[in-house]
Structure 1
Protein backbone atom coordinates (compact mmCIF):
# COMPACT_ATOMS: atom_id res chain seq x y z
CA UNK A 1 0.00 0.00 0.00
CA UNK A 2 1.18 3.52 -0.67
CA UNK A 3 0.20 7.14 -0.31
CA UNK A 4 -0.84 8.57 -3.70
CA UNK A 5 1.80 10.62 -5.48
CA UNK A 6 1.34 14.37 -5.17
CA UNK A 7 0.46 16.01 -8.51
CA UNK A 8 3.95 17.48 -8.94
CA UNK A 9 5.59 14.11 -8.19
CA UNK A 10 3.27 12.28 -10.59
CA UNK A 11 4.04 14.75 -13.37
CA UNK A 12 7.79 14.56 -12.72
CA UNK A 13 7.69 10.74 -12.67
CA UNK A 14 5.88 10.54 -16.00
CA UNK A 15 8.26 12.97 -17.68
CA UNK A 16 11.30 11.23 -16.23
CA UNK A 17 10.08 8.01 -17.88
CA UNK A 18 9.93 9.80 -21.25
CA UNK A 19 6.13 10.25 -21.34
CA UNK A 20 4.70 13.10 -23.44
CA UNK A 21 2.28 14.88 -21.09
CA UNK A 22 -0.50 17.37 -21.76
CA UNK A 23 -1.97 19.03 -18.67
CA UNK A 24 -5.71 19.65 -18.99
CA UNK A 25 -7.08 22.60 -17.01
CA UNK A 26 -6.88 22.32 -13.23
CA UNK A 27 -6.30 18.57 -13.39
CA UNK A 28 -4.37 18.53 -10.11
CA UNK A 29 -7.50 19.49 -8.12
CA UNK A 30 -10.16 17.76 -10.26
CA UNK A 31 -11.43 14.66 -8.42
CA UNK A 32 -14.30 12.90 -6.63
CA UNK A 33 -12.70 13.01 -3.19
CA UNK A 34 -15.96 14.27 -1.66
CA UNK A 35 -17.49 10.87 -2.51
CA UNK A 36 -14.90 8.67 -0.83
CA UNK A 37 -11.27 8.04 -0.06
CA UNK A 38 -8.34 8.23 -2.46
CA UNK A 39 -5.68 5.83 -1.24
CA UNK A 40 -3.90 3.95 -0.02
CA UNK A 41 -3.13 3.07 -3.63
CA UNK A 42 -2.08 -0.38 -4.77
CA UNK A 43 -1.74 -0.31 -8.53
CA UNK A 44 -2.51 0.99 -12.01
CA UNK A 45 -5.59 0.04 -14.05
CA UNK A 46 -5.75 0.20 -17.85
CA UNK A 47 -8.97 0.85 -19.79
CA UNK A 48 -10.11 1.60 -23.35
CA UNK A 49 -12.46 4.49 -24.07
CA UNK A 50 -14.74 3.00 -26.81
CA UNK A 51 -14.19 6.32 -28.64
CA UNK A 52 -12.11 7.60 -31.56
CA UNK A 53 -11.57 11.37 -31.41
CA UNK A 54 -8.87 12.54 -28.99
CA UNK A 55 -10.44 15.88 -28.03
CA UNK A 56 -13.86 14.33 -27.44
CA UNK A 57 -12.32 11.47 -25.47
CA UNK A 58 -10.35 13.84 -23.25
CA UNK A 59 -13.45 15.98 -22.68
CA UNK A 60 -15.58 12.97 -21.81
CA UNK A 61 -12.99 11.55 -19.42
CA UNK A 62 -12.55 14.90 -17.72
CA UNK A 63 -16.22 15.84 -17.38
CA UNK A 64 -18.01 12.48 -17.42
CA UNK A 65 -21.75 12.45 -17.98
CA UNK A 66 -25.00 12.65 -16.01
CA UNK A 67 -24.94 9.21 -14.40
CA UNK A 68 -21.15 9.04 -14.03
CA UNK A 69 -19.50 12.42 -13.32
CA UNK A 70 -15.86 13.00 -14.14
CA UNK A 71 -13.06 12.58 -13.87
CA UNK A 72 -13.34 9.08 -15.33
CA UNK A 73 -9.60 8.44 -15.02
CA UNK A 74 -6.37 10.24 -14.21
CA UNK A 75 -4.91 10.26 -17.70
CA UNK A 76 -6.12 9.71 -21.26
CA UNK A 77 -3.55 8.10 -23.56
CA UNK A 78 -4.18 9.00 -27.20
CA UNK A 79 -2.98 7.17 -30.30
CA UNK A 80 0.04 9.47 -30.72
CA UNK A 81 1.32 8.46 -27.29
CA UNK A 82 0.43 11.66 -25.45
CA UNK A 83 -0.93 11.33 -21.92
CA UNK A 84 -3.58 13.96 -21.16
CA UNK A 85 -3.79 14.45 -17.40
CA UNK A 86 -7.45 15.17 -16.51
CA UNK A 87 -7.67 14.46 -12.79
CA UNK A 88 -5.86 13.75 -9.56
CA UNK A 89 -7.52 12.00 -6.67
CA UNK A 90 -10.53 9.76 -6.60
CA UNK A 91 -11.86 9.13 -10.14
CA UNK A 92 -14.82 7.14 -11.47
CA UNK A 93 -12.81 4.58 -13.43
CA UNK A 94 -12.52 1.24 -11.65
CA UNK A 95 -15.74 0.81 -9.68
CA UNK A 96 -16.30 -2.30 -7.63
CA UNK A 97 -14.13 -5.35 -8.18
CA UNK A 98 -12.81 -8.58 -6.78
CA UNK A 99 -11.15 -8.33 -3.33
CA UNK A 100 -9.18 -11.51 -4.10
CA UNK A 101 -7.65 -9.76 -7.12
CA UNK A 102 -6.79 -6.76 -4.94
CA UNK A 103 -5.07 -9.03 -2.43
CA UNK A 104 -2.95 -10.63 -5.17
CA UNK A 105 -2.05 -7.23 -6.64
CA UNK A 106 -0.98 -5.99 -3.21
CA UNK A 107 1.12 -9.14 -2.67
CA UNK A 108 2.36 -9.11 -6.30
CA UNK A 109 2.47 -12.91 -6.06
CA UNK A 110 0.33 -14.11 -8.97
CA UNK A 111 1.63 -15.79 -12.11
CA UNK A 112 0.74 -14.85 -15.68
CA UNK A 113 -2.57 -13.30 -14.61
CA UNK A 114 -4.35 -12.53 -11.34
CA UNK A 115 -7.24 -14.86 -10.43
CA UNK A 116 -10.33 -14.47 -12.61
CA UNK A 117 -12.62 -11.85 -11.06
CA UNK A 118 -16.03 -12.84 -9.69
CA UNK A 119 -17.17 -9.45 -8.46
CA UNK A 120 -18.34 -6.22 -10.11
CA UNK A 121 -19.85 -2.84 -9.23
CA UNK A 122 -22.72 -3.46 -6.84
CA UNK A 123 -21.66 -6.96 -5.81
CA UNK A 124 -21.94 -7.60 -2.06
CA UNK A 125 -18.38 -7.46 -0.73
CA UNK A 126 -16.88 -5.84 -3.86
CA UNK A 127 -13.73 -3.81 -3.25
CA UNK A 128 -13.66 -0.09 -4.07
CA UNK A 129 -11.26 0.19 -7.01
CA UNK A 130 -11.67 3.95 -7.30
CA UNK A 131 -9.86 4.34 -3.99
CA UNK A 132 -7.06 1.88 -4.81
CA UNK A 133 -5.94 2.36 -8.42
CA UNK A 134 -4.55 4.98 -10.73
CA UNK A 135 -6.53 4.80 -13.97
CA UNK A 136 -5.54 5.38 -17.60
CA UNK A 137 -8.15 5.47 -20.35
CA UNK A 138 -6.67 4.65 -23.77
CA UNK A 139 -8.34 5.96 -26.93
CA UNK A 140 -9.57 2.88 -28.76
CA UNK A 141 -12.91 1.45 -29.87
CA UNK A 142 -12.18 -1.78 -28.04
CA UNK A 143 -13.72 -3.87 -30.82
CA UNK A 144 -10.61 -5.95 -31.39
CA UNK A 145 -10.15 -4.31 -34.81
CA UNK A 146 -9.20 -0.74 -33.96
CA UNK A 147 -5.38 -0.69 -34.09
CA UNK A 148 -3.11 0.11 -31.17
CA UNK A 149 -0.24 2.18 -32.62
CA UNK A 150 3.25 1.47 -31.32
CA UNK A 151 3.46 5.00 -29.89
CA UNK A 152 0.31 4.45 -27.85
CA UNK A 153 1.42 1.07 -26.48
CA UNK A 154 4.81 2.58 -25.63
CA UNK A 155 3.09 5.39 -23.71
CA UNK A 156 0.92 2.89 -21.78
CA UNK A 157 4.08 0.98 -20.88
CA UNK A 158 5.99 4.11 -19.86
CA UNK A 159 3.16 5.70 -17.87
CA UNK A 160 2.52 2.46 -15.96
CA UNK A 161 6.22 1.93 -15.33
CA UNK A 162 6.61 5.52 -14.13
CA UNK A 163 4.05 5.01 -11.37
CA UNK A 164 5.41 1.58 -10.45
CA UNK A 165 8.93 2.98 -10.28
CA UNK A 166 7.84 5.89 -8.08
CA UNK A 167 6.11 3.53 -5.61
CA UNK A 168 8.61 0.69 -5.81
CA UNK A 169 6.04 -1.69 -7.32
CA UNK A 170 6.61 -4.49 -9.81
CA UNK A 171 4.75 -4.89 -13.11
CA UNK A 172 2.21 -7.12 -11.30
CA UNK A 173 0.72 -3.94 -9.86
CA UNK A 174 -0.63 -3.11 -13.35
CA UNK A 175 -3.91 -4.79 -14.31
CA UNK A 176 -6.64 -4.38 -16.91
CA UNK A 177 -10.22 -3.49 -16.06
CA UNK A 178 -11.31 -6.98 -17.20
CA UNK A 179 -8.94 -8.46 -14.61
CA UNK A 180 -10.71 -6.47 -11.88
CA UNK A 181 -14.43 -6.81 -12.70
CA UNK A 182 -16.26 -9.74 -14.28
CA UNK A 183 -18.48 -7.22 -16.09
CA UNK A 184 -15.64 -5.63 -18.06
CA UNK A 185 -13.71 -6.53 -21.22
CA UNK A 186 -11.17 -3.71 -21.42
CA UNK A 187 -8.57 -3.24 -22.61
CA UNK A 188 -9.15 -5.26 -25.76
CA UNK A 189 -6.68 -5.55 -28.62
CA UNK A 190 -3.51 -6.43 -26.68
CA UNK A 191 -2.89 -8.71 -23.70
CA UNK A 192 -2.10 -7.61 -20.18
CA UNK A 193 0.54 -10.35 -19.69
CA UNK A 194 2.41 -8.93 -22.70
CA UNK A 195 2.11 -5.39 -21.32
CA UNK A 196 3.31 -6.50 -17.90
CA UNK A 197 6.25 -8.24 -19.54
CA UNK A 198 7.30 -5.01 -21.27
CA UNK A 199 6.82 -3.01 -18.07
CA UNK A 200 8.95 -5.53 -16.16
CA UNK A 201 11.71 -5.19 -18.75
CA UNK A 202 11.57 -1.41 -18.49
CA UNK A 203 11.64 -1.47 -14.70
CA UNK A 204 14.60 -3.78 -14.80
CA UNK A 205 16.61 -1.32 -16.88
CA UNK A 206 18.35 1.83 -15.81
CA UNK A 207 16.96 3.76 -18.75
CA UNK A 208 14.78 6.11 -16.75
CA UNK A 209 16.47 8.56 -14.37
CA UNK A 210 15.16 9.16 -10.89
CA UNK A 211 12.51 11.88 -11.02
CA UNK A 212 13.90 15.20 -9.81
CA UNK A 213 12.49 16.63 -6.63
CA UNK A 214 9.83 19.10 -7.78
CA UNK A 215 10.50 22.73 -7.02
CA UNK A 216 7.74 24.46 -5.09
CA UNK A 217 5.65 26.75 -7.30
CA UNK A 218 6.33 30.48 -7.08
CA UNK A 219 3.35 32.82 -7.02
CA UNK A 220 3.01 36.55 -7.53
CA UNK A 221 2.80 38.39 -4.20
CA UNK A 222 -0.23 40.62 -3.72
CA UNK A 223 0.66 43.94 -5.42
CA UNK A 224 -1.85 45.97 -3.41
CA UNK A 225 -5.37 47.09 -4.30
CA UNK A 226 -4.07 50.38 -5.78
CA UNK A 227 -2.22 48.37 -8.44
CA UNK A 228 -5.52 47.58 -10.16
CA UNK A 229 -6.26 50.93 -11.76
CA UNK A 230 -7.79 51.79 -15.13
CA UNK A 231 -4.44 52.70 -16.70
CA UNK A 232 -2.56 49.65 -15.43
CA UNK A 233 -0.83 47.41 -17.98
CA UNK A 234 1.14 44.45 -16.67
CA UNK A 235 1.88 40.79 -17.33
CA UNK A 236 0.57 40.22 -13.82
CA UNK A 237 -2.91 41.20 -15.00
CA UNK A 238 -2.69 38.69 -17.85
CA UNK A 239 -1.52 35.91 -15.50
CA UNK A 240 -4.33 36.76 -13.09
CA UNK A 241 -6.90 36.60 -15.89
CA UNK A 242 -5.70 33.19 -17.01
CA UNK A 243 -6.04 31.84 -13.48
CA UNK A 244 -9.56 33.27 -13.24
CA UNK A 245 -10.48 31.48 -16.48
CA UNK A 246 -8.98 28.23 -15.14
CA UNK A 247 -11.13 28.59 -12.02
CA UNK A 248 -14.28 29.00 -14.12
CA UNK A 249 -14.64 32.69 -13.24
CA UNK A 250 -13.63 34.26 -16.56
CA UNK A 251 -16.05 36.88 -17.83
CA UNK A 252 -13.97 37.80 -20.89
CA UNK A 253 -15.20 38.21 -24.45
CA UNK A 254 -11.60 38.74 -25.60
CA UNK A 255 -8.49 38.10 -23.58
CA UNK A 256 -7.44 38.13 -20.86
CA UNK A 257 -4.76 40.69 -21.61
CA UNK A 258 -2.30 42.98 -19.82
CA UNK A 259 -4.60 46.02 -19.49
CA UNK A 260 -6.79 46.08 -16.37
CA UNK A 261 -10.38 46.25 -17.60
CA UNK A 262 -14.00 45.97 -16.55
CA UNK A 263 -13.91 42.32 -17.70
CA UNK A 264 -11.05 41.73 -15.25
CA UNK A 265 -13.05 43.36 -12.46
CA UNK A 266 -16.15 41.28 -13.23
CA UNK A 267 -14.07 38.10 -13.44
CA UNK A 268 -12.38 38.81 -10.12
CA UNK A 269 -15.74 39.58 -8.54
CA UNK A 270 -16.90 36.12 -9.66
CA UNK A 271 -13.81 34.64 -7.97
CA UNK A 272 -14.55 36.53 -4.76
CA UNK A 273 -18.12 35.24 -4.77
CA UNK A 274 -16.83 31.70 -5.39
CA UNK A 275 -14.75 32.06 -2.23
CA UNK A 276 -17.86 33.12 -0.29
CA UNK A 277 -17.37 36.89 -0.22
CA UNK A 278 -20.34 39.16 -0.79
CA UNK A 279 -21.32 42.83 -0.88
CA UNK A 280 -18.40 45.26 -0.90
CA UNK A 281 -16.03 42.34 -0.31
CA UNK A 282 -16.94 41.04 -3.79
CA UNK A 283 -16.49 44.29 -5.71
CA UNK A 284 -13.92 42.84 -8.12
CA UNK A 285 -10.92 44.69 -6.68
CA UNK A 286 -8.37 42.13 -5.49
CA UNK A 287 -7.62 41.86 -1.79
CA UNK A 288 -4.78 39.93 -0.23
CA UNK A 289 -6.87 37.01 1.06
CA UNK A 290 -8.52 36.26 -2.27
CA UNK A 291 -5.30 36.95 -4.21
CA UNK A 292 -3.27 34.49 -2.16
CA UNK A 293 -5.89 31.79 -2.78
CA UNK A 294 -5.91 32.46 -6.56
CA UNK A 295 -2.20 31.48 -6.78
CA UNK A 296 -1.20 33.64 -9.73
CA UNK A 297 2.04 32.24 -11.25
CA UNK A 298 5.10 34.42 -10.94
CA UNK A 299 5.81 36.39 -14.12
Structure 2
Protein backbone atom coordinates (compact mmCIF):
# COMPACT_ATOMS: atom_id res chain seq x y z
CA UNK A 1 0.00 0.00 0.00
CA UNK A 2 1.29 3.44 -0.95
CA UNK A 3 0.71 6.60 1.04
CA UNK A 4 -0.22 9.99 -0.42
CA UNK A 5 0.59 12.89 1.91
CA UNK A 6 -1.08 16.24 1.22
CA UNK A 7 0.78 19.23 2.68
CA UNK A 8 -1.86 21.86 3.44
CA UNK A 9 -0.77 25.50 3.37
CA UNK A 10 -3.06 28.22 4.79
CA UNK A 11 -5.50 29.62 2.19
CA UNK A 12 -5.29 26.36 0.25
CA UNK A 13 -7.58 25.88 -2.76
CA UNK A 14 -10.14 23.15 -2.10
CA UNK A 15 -10.13 21.69 -5.62
CA UNK A 16 -6.33 21.46 -5.60
CA UNK A 17 -6.76 19.09 -2.64
CA UNK A 18 -10.05 17.39 -3.47
CA UNK A 19 -9.31 16.61 -7.12
CA UNK A 20 -6.12 14.56 -6.60
CA UNK A 21 -7.52 13.10 -3.35
CA UNK A 22 -10.58 11.82 -5.23
CA UNK A 23 -8.35 10.22 -7.88
CA UNK A 24 -6.28 8.26 -5.37
CA UNK A 25 -9.33 7.42 -3.23
CA UNK A 26 -11.07 6.04 -6.32
CA UNK A 27 -7.94 4.11 -7.29
CA UNK A 28 -8.02 2.56 -3.83
CA UNK A 29 -11.69 1.62 -4.30
CA UNK A 30 -10.76 -0.09 -7.57
CA UNK A 31 -8.06 -2.28 -6.04
CA UNK A 32 -4.92 -0.12 -6.10
CA UNK A 33 -4.32 0.46 -2.37
CA UNK A 34 -3.61 4.00 -1.19
CA UNK A 35 -3.73 5.64 2.23
CA UNK A 36 -4.35 9.39 2.22
CA UNK A 37 -2.81 11.57 4.94
CA UNK A 38 -3.12 15.32 5.43
CA UNK A 39 -0.41 17.34 7.18
CA UNK A 40 -0.48 21.00 8.24
CA UNK A 41 2.02 22.81 10.43
CA UNK A 42 -0.71 24.15 12.74
CA UNK A 43 -2.95 21.08 12.61
CA UNK A 44 -5.45 22.78 10.34
CA UNK A 45 -5.58 24.95 7.23
CA UNK A 46 -8.37 27.34 6.32
CA UNK A 47 -9.19 27.02 2.64
CA UNK A 48 -9.61 30.22 0.67
CA UNK A 49 -13.16 29.03 -0.07
CA UNK A 50 -13.96 29.18 3.69
CA UNK A 51 -13.78 25.56 4.81
CA UNK A 52 -11.31 24.68 7.61
CA UNK A 53 -9.41 21.45 6.95
CA UNK A 54 -8.05 19.52 9.92
CA UNK A 55 -4.78 17.66 9.51
CA UNK A 56 -1.96 15.93 11.34
CA UNK A 57 1.04 17.90 12.53
CA UNK A 58 3.46 14.95 12.51
CA UNK A 59 4.73 13.54 9.26
CA UNK A 60 4.29 9.78 8.80
CA UNK A 61 7.28 7.64 7.82
CA UNK A 62 7.56 7.58 4.03
CA UNK A 63 8.89 5.01 1.58
CA UNK A 64 10.09 5.66 -1.98
CA UNK A 65 6.74 4.48 -3.40
CA UNK A 66 4.86 7.13 -1.41
CA UNK A 67 3.84 10.53 -2.78
CA UNK A 68 3.87 14.04 -1.35
CA UNK A 69 1.43 16.49 -2.94
CA UNK A 70 1.50 20.22 -2.19
CA UNK A 71 -1.82 21.79 -3.27
CA UNK A 72 -1.87 25.41 -4.31
CA UNK A 73 -3.01 28.36 -2.24
CA UNK A 74 -3.97 31.98 -2.74
CA UNK A 75 -1.21 34.31 -1.60
CA UNK A 76 0.20 36.11 0.14
CA UNK A 77 0.63 33.45 2.77
CA UNK A 78 3.21 32.24 5.26
CA UNK A 79 5.77 30.03 3.51
CA UNK A 80 6.38 26.50 4.76
CA UNK A 81 8.92 26.18 7.55
CA UNK A 82 12.47 24.99 7.06
CA UNK A 83 11.58 21.67 8.69
CA UNK A 84 8.65 21.14 6.33
CA UNK A 85 10.75 21.94 3.28
CA UNK A 86 13.32 19.45 4.54
CA UNK A 87 10.64 16.74 4.45
CA UNK A 88 10.09 17.49 0.76
CA UNK A 89 13.82 17.35 -0.01
CA UNK A 90 14.43 14.21 2.03
CA UNK A 91 11.57 12.32 0.43
CA UNK A 92 12.82 13.12 -3.05
CA UNK A 93 16.40 12.27 -2.11
CA UNK A 94 15.21 8.85 -0.90
CA UNK A 95 13.66 8.11 -4.31
CA UNK A 96 10.16 9.43 -3.70
CA UNK A 97 7.96 11.63 -5.89
CA UNK A 98 6.95 15.16 -4.89
CA UNK A 99 4.17 17.02 -6.70
CA UNK A 100 3.08 20.63 -6.58
CA UNK A 101 -0.36 21.73 -7.78
CA UNK A 102 -0.58 25.35 -8.97
CA UNK A 103 1.20 27.58 -6.41
CA UNK A 104 2.42 24.42 -4.70
CA UNK A 105 5.30 24.64 -7.16
CA UNK A 106 6.60 27.57 -5.10
CA UNK A 107 7.02 25.32 -2.05
CA UNK A 108 8.98 22.87 -4.21
CA UNK A 109 11.10 25.77 -5.41
CA UNK A 110 11.77 26.93 -1.84
CA UNK A 111 12.89 23.39 -1.06
CA UNK A 112 15.41 23.61 -3.93
CA UNK A 113 13.64 20.89 -5.91
CA UNK A 114 13.04 23.02 -9.03
CA UNK A 115 16.68 24.00 -9.56
CA UNK A 116 17.78 22.83 -13.00
CA UNK A 117 14.42 21.16 -13.65
CA UNK A 118 11.49 21.83 -15.97
CA UNK A 119 8.31 22.86 -14.19
CA UNK A 120 5.03 24.68 -14.70
CA UNK A 121 2.24 26.38 -12.76
CA UNK A 122 -0.99 28.26 -13.40
CA UNK A 123 -0.66 30.68 -16.31
CA UNK A 124 -1.41 33.68 -14.07
CA UNK A 125 1.63 33.07 -11.82
CA UNK A 126 4.19 31.63 -14.24
CA UNK A 127 6.17 34.85 -14.38
CA UNK A 128 6.22 35.05 -10.58
CA UNK A 129 7.49 31.46 -10.31
CA UNK A 130 10.27 32.22 -12.80
CA UNK A 131 11.22 35.37 -10.86
CA UNK A 132 11.31 33.63 -7.48
CA UNK A 133 13.22 30.60 -8.75
CA UNK A 134 15.51 31.71 -11.57
CA UNK A 135 17.34 28.35 -11.67
CA UNK A 136 14.11 26.58 -12.64
CA UNK A 137 13.04 26.16 -16.27
CA UNK A 138 9.42 27.32 -16.23
CA UNK A 139 7.43 25.84 -19.13
CA UNK A 140 4.59 28.10 -20.21
CA UNK A 141 1.11 26.84 -21.05
CA UNK A 142 1.52 23.19 -20.04
CA UNK A 143 -0.96 21.26 -17.89
CA UNK A 144 1.73 19.38 -15.99
CA UNK A 145 5.42 18.56 -16.17
CA UNK A 146 7.34 15.65 -14.63
CA UNK A 147 11.12 15.94 -14.34
CA UNK A 148 13.07 13.44 -12.24
CA UNK A 149 10.17 12.64 -9.89
CA UNK A 150 9.31 16.32 -9.46
CA UNK A 151 5.80 16.94 -10.79
CA UNK A 152 4.21 20.37 -11.17
CA UNK A 153 0.86 21.31 -12.64
CA UNK A 154 -1.22 24.30 -13.67
CA UNK A 155 -3.63 23.85 -10.79
CA UNK A 156 -7.41 23.79 -10.29
CA UNK A 157 -8.82 20.99 -12.50
CA UNK A 158 -5.36 20.04 -13.79
CA UNK A 159 -4.67 18.53 -10.37
CA UNK A 160 -6.99 15.72 -11.50
CA UNK A 161 -4.98 15.32 -14.71
CA UNK A 162 -1.66 15.07 -12.90
CA UNK A 163 -3.08 12.58 -10.39
CA UNK A 164 -4.39 10.45 -13.27
CA UNK A 165 -0.94 10.72 -14.84
CA UNK A 166 0.62 9.39 -11.64
CA UNK A 167 -1.88 6.53 -11.56
CA UNK A 168 -0.98 5.78 -15.19
CA UNK A 169 2.75 5.66 -14.50
CA UNK A 170 2.21 3.38 -11.48
CA UNK A 171 -0.59 1.10 -12.66
CA UNK A 172 -0.95 1.64 -16.41
CA UNK A 173 -3.43 3.48 -18.66
CA UNK A 174 -6.20 0.94 -18.09
CA UNK A 175 -6.24 1.65 -14.35
CA UNK A 176 -6.24 5.41 -14.97
CA UNK A 177 -9.08 4.97 -17.46
CA UNK A 178 -11.10 3.06 -14.87
CA UNK A 179 -10.56 5.84 -12.34
CA UNK A 180 -11.51 8.52 -14.88
CA UNK A 181 -14.69 6.65 -15.83
CA UNK A 182 -15.66 6.18 -12.19
CA UNK A 183 -15.17 9.92 -11.61
CA UNK A 184 -17.07 10.83 -14.80
CA UNK A 185 -14.02 12.71 -16.07
CA UNK A 186 -14.55 13.18 -19.78
CA UNK A 187 -10.92 13.73 -20.73
CA UNK A 188 -7.59 12.70 -19.23
CA UNK A 189 -5.43 15.37 -20.80
CA UNK A 190 -1.74 14.95 -21.50
CA UNK A 191 0.80 17.15 -19.77
CA UNK A 192 1.67 19.07 -22.92
CA UNK A 193 -1.97 20.03 -23.53
CA UNK A 194 -2.64 23.76 -23.48
CA UNK A 195 -3.92 25.10 -20.15
CA UNK A 196 -6.87 26.73 -21.90
CA UNK A 197 -8.79 24.41 -24.22
CA UNK A 198 -9.73 25.51 -27.75
CA UNK A 199 -13.30 25.12 -26.49
CA UNK A 200 -12.72 28.23 -24.34
CA UNK A 201 -9.68 29.97 -25.84
CA UNK A 202 -11.64 31.39 -28.78
CA UNK A 203 -14.94 31.98 -27.01
CA UNK A 204 -14.34 35.41 -25.49
CA UNK A 205 -15.95 37.32 -28.37
CA UNK A 206 -19.53 38.65 -28.55
CA UNK A 207 -20.54 37.50 -32.05
CA UNK A 208 -23.59 35.23 -31.63
CA UNK A 209 -23.38 33.99 -35.21
CA UNK A 210 -19.84 32.76 -34.63
CA UNK A 211 -20.85 31.16 -31.34
CA UNK A 212 -23.51 29.20 -33.25
CA UNK A 213 -20.89 28.15 -35.78
CA UNK A 214 -18.57 27.04 -32.99
CA UNK A 215 -21.39 25.05 -31.40
CA UNK A 216 -21.94 23.25 -34.69
CA UNK A 217 -18.23 22.56 -35.26
CA UNK A 218 -17.72 21.32 -31.70
CA UNK A 219 -20.67 18.94 -32.00
CA UNK A 220 -19.54 17.51 -35.36
CA UNK A 221 -15.78 18.13 -35.40
CA UNK A 222 -14.98 14.57 -36.56
CA UNK A 223 -17.05 15.03 -39.70
CA UNK A 224 -16.28 16.78 -42.96
CA UNK A 225 -17.83 20.24 -42.62
CA UNK A 226 -17.76 22.10 -45.93
CA UNK A 227 -18.06 25.86 -45.82
CA UNK A 228 -21.36 25.58 -47.67
CA UNK A 229 -22.86 23.64 -44.74
CA UNK A 230 -21.75 26.29 -42.23
CA UNK A 231 -23.15 29.03 -44.45
CA UNK A 232 -26.50 27.26 -44.75
CA UNK A 233 -26.68 26.74 -40.97
CA UNK A 234 -26.32 30.47 -40.32
CA UNK A 235 -28.10 31.81 -43.41
CA UNK A 236 -24.91 33.61 -44.42
CA UNK A 237 -22.76 33.48 -47.51
CA UNK A 238 -19.59 31.40 -47.39
CA UNK A 239 -17.55 34.56 -47.64
CA UNK A 240 -19.42 36.11 -44.71
CA UNK A 241 -18.92 32.99 -42.58
CA UNK A 242 -15.17 33.10 -43.13
CA UNK A 243 -14.98 36.84 -42.50
CA UNK A 244 -17.03 36.78 -39.29
CA UNK A 245 -15.29 33.70 -37.90
CA UNK A 246 -11.81 35.03 -38.61
CA UNK A 247 -12.61 38.44 -37.14
CA UNK A 248 -14.01 36.95 -33.92
CA UNK A 249 -11.47 34.16 -33.33
CA UNK A 250 -8.44 34.84 -35.51
CA UNK A 251 -8.95 31.43 -37.13
CA UNK A 252 -10.74 30.02 -40.11
CA UNK A 253 -13.54 27.53 -39.39
CA UNK A 254 -11.29 24.73 -40.70
CA UNK A 255 -8.41 25.75 -38.43
CA UNK A 256 -10.78 25.75 -35.44
CA UNK A 257 -12.02 22.27 -36.33
CA UNK A 258 -8.43 21.07 -36.70
CA UNK A 259 -7.55 22.44 -33.25
CA UNK A 260 -10.45 20.49 -31.72
CA UNK A 261 -9.38 17.34 -33.54
CA UNK A 262 -5.80 17.70 -32.33
CA UNK A 263 -6.89 18.20 -28.73
CA UNK A 264 -9.01 15.05 -28.83
CA UNK A 265 -6.22 13.11 -30.58
CA UNK A 266 -3.74 14.12 -27.87
CA UNK A 267 -6.12 12.71 -25.26
CA UNK A 268 -6.46 9.43 -27.15
CA UNK A 269 -2.69 9.11 -27.59
CA UNK A 270 -2.20 9.84 -23.90
CA UNK A 271 -4.50 6.96 -22.97
CA UNK A 272 -2.63 4.43 -25.09
CA UNK A 273 -4.25 4.69 -28.53
CA UNK A 274 -2.04 4.28 -31.58
CA UNK A 275 -1.64 7.16 -34.01
CA UNK A 276 -3.69 5.22 -36.54
CA UNK A 277 -6.61 4.76 -34.12
CA UNK A 278 -6.45 8.36 -32.87
CA UNK A 279 -6.40 9.73 -36.41
CA UNK A 280 -9.40 7.66 -37.41
CA UNK A 281 -11.37 8.55 -34.27
CA UNK A 282 -11.02 12.31 -34.78
CA UNK A 283 -11.67 12.31 -38.52
CA UNK A 284 -8.19 12.66 -40.06
CA UNK A 285 -7.49 10.71 -43.24
CA UNK A 286 -4.56 8.79 -41.79
CA UNK A 287 -1.89 8.75 -39.09
CA UNK A 288 0.54 10.60 -41.33
CA UNK A 289 -1.79 13.60 -41.38
CA UNK A 290 -2.06 13.52 -37.60
CA UNK A 291 1.71 13.33 -37.17
CA UNK A 292 2.28 16.21 -39.57
CA UNK A 293 -0.25 18.46 -37.82
CA UNK A 294 1.10 17.58 -34.36
CA UNK A 295 4.61 18.42 -35.49
CA UNK A 296 3.43 21.72 -36.93
CA UNK A 297 1.58 22.60 -33.71
CA UNK A 298 4.65 21.77 -31.60
CA UNK A 299 7.06 23.82 -33.73
CA UNK A 300 8.24 27.14 -32.19
CA UNK A 301 6.55 30.25 -33.54
CA UNK A 302 8.26 31.68 -36.58
CA UNK A 303 9.63 28.41 -37.86
Settle same-fold status: TM greater than 0.5: no
TM-score interval for Structure 1 and Structure 2 normalised by the shorter chain: under 0.3
Does 1 or 2 have the higher relative contact order (CA < 8 Å, sep 6+)?
1
TM-score normalised by structure 2 residue count: 0.25
